[in-house]
Amino acid sequence: MSLTDILSPSDIAAALRDCQAPDSFSPKKFFQISGMSKKSSSQLKEIFRILDNDQSGFIEEDELKYFLQRFECGARVLTSSETKTFLAAADHDGDGKIGA
């Protein structure tokens, strides 16, 4: 399964266009534009599984910086600041990684 089986390719493209400039990535806005904010919990778990590159059950900081590239191969890498902000927003237990 790929992300385009769950999310519209045009919505993914729009979300990526919105954050092309360094330090312009907003997780909340990206989730809204890409359509992820409207998906069921089972669909979100599948998206998480796809984004969890090493299949560890967590998305660590090293994986998170390549978040946009999981949606499109040529997308930019998140900046250090964006990665840390994203991790802080999604790491609910403070263990330095994002769990499903």
Q: Are 43 and 92 in contact (CB under 8 A)?
A: no
Distances from the Cα of 40 to the Cα of 2, 6, 11, 45, 65, angstroms: 16, 10, 17, 9, 25
Q: How confident is the model at residue 69 (pLDDT cuts 50, 70, 90)?
A: very high
Q: What is the pTM of this model?
A: 0.89
Domains of the chain in sequence order = 3-92 (1.10.238.10)
Does the annotation flag 24 for ligand binding? no
Does the annotation flag 91 for ligand binding? yes
- Residue type at position 2: S
Does the annotation flag 31 for ligand binding? no
Does the annotation flag 62 for ligand binding? no
Q: How confident is the model at residue 100 (pLDDT cuts 50, 70, 90)?
A: confident
pLDDT reading at 20 higher than 90: yes
Q: Are 46 and 1 in contact (CB under 8 A)?
A: yes
Does the annotation flag 23 for ligand binding? no
Q: How confident is the model at residue 1 (pLDDT cuts 50, 70, 90)?
A: confident
Q: Are 91 and 98 in contact (CB under 8 A)?
A: yes
pLDDT value, residue 43:
96
Q: Are 61 and 83 in contact (CB under 8 A)?
A: yes
Does the annotation flag 71 for ligand binding? no
pLDDT value, residue 42:
96
